Amino acid sequence: MKRKVLHTIGYVLFFLVSFAFFLVRGFPVHMVAKQLDYRAKAAGLDLNYATLKTSFPSGIVVEALRITKPIQKEQETIPLSVRIDRGKLDFSLLGLLGGKKHIDVDLELLGGRIDGSVESKDSSLKLDLRLSSLRLERLMPWDKLIGQQLVGQLSGALNVDWNLLKARDSTGEISLELASGKVGKGKIYGVELPMVDLGKTLLQMNISKAKLECRNCKVESDEVDAALEGYLLLQKNILDTSAHLRLRAKPSEAVIQKVKNKLPPEFHTLFDQKLAQSRGRDGWFRYSIYGRIFKGAVSFRPLRQ
């Protein structure tokens, strides 16, 4: 009897070891690579990576992955490229059998980290992600896309249920905080803005009916206080997203003087007149912002007060 029990335990252990060996050595990582490449090309993306290998018990690890997406802006093609230094993806095998793709992700990129989960079933894509210290200046050529340089470390959380077929049925919440943020070194109506310290920047937004609505979006620093209201109208192609926003800002007199000093003296009077059009009695400037933000087609218009 004792020998039968030992034999049974031995068979079980042998099966478990063999199963683990199959998962690690027999996992069709080459098929995963082909599928990733196929889906990337279908989405207009180009993938390049140094290594792609299995991770026990049911995952893969990719190193030096670069994702490139060409963006057409007027007559210029801008390559948007993101490098993932190291990424670990763990799949739910039972979920795959049930038609639900659940992946736990841990990505090292942009000098920081993204971790959480991605779940896909039918036309639904659920994102539950945490962002830690992502360096914005490494994300994209902001000066070519929005006309200004943007730097800082982005952290926060995304909890989004995105409907791939009907954007208006998508829901979710986004909460982000920008540390050591600065924006500037670009031109607005021919005037180059200095780099402005954004201090404490909070972006808390809701997704509903194809709109990304600003719930609590504000900047507080020694150089500028600002608040953003309105929404972004989301599109199936995220690069076609358009802004329908109202900006309320109060830059310091030192920042205003820096901008004014970049103009020839003969334009100083005109500069003061333009500022007066959007400045209220409370000292705040108010503008409407509209247009496709990722294609450099954004317009600023002073709001009457």
Q: Give the residue among 94, 97, 65 at the shortest CA–CA distance from 81.
A: 65
Q: Dig out the tokens for 51 from the structure.
A: 């290594």
Mean pLDDT score of the chain? 79
pLDDT at 103: 83
Q: Give the residue among 293, 194, 159 at the shortest CA–CA distance from 234.
A: 293
Q: Read off the pLDDT of residues 44-103 as tens digits, 9 standing for 90 and up.
A: 778 787 887 777 666 778 888 888 877 666 666 777 778 889 988 887 655 555 556 778
Distance, in Å, from the CA atom of 53 to the CA atom of 266, rounded to the nearest integer, reads 64
pLDDT band at 295 (very low <50, low <70, confident <90, very high): low
Tokens 């736990």 belong to which residue? 104
Asked whether the predicted pLDDT for residue 115 surpasses 90, the reply is: yes
pLDDT band at 16 (very low <50, low <70, confident <90, very high): very low
Q: Read off the pLDDT of residues 117-138 as tens digits, 9 standing for 90 and up.
A: 988 877 788 899 999 999 988 8
Q: Give the residue among 209, 259, 201, 188 at the shortest CA–CA distance from 228.
A: 201
- What is the average per-residue pLDDT within 177-196? 84
If you ran DSSP here, which 8-state letter would residue 193 be given?
A: P
- What is the average per-residue pLDDT within 147-151? 86
- What is the average per-residue pLDDT within 175-194? 84
Asked whether the predicted pLDDT for residue 14 surpasses 60, the reply is: no
pLDDT at 304: 67
pLDDT at 12: 39
CB 149 within 8 A of CB 143: yes
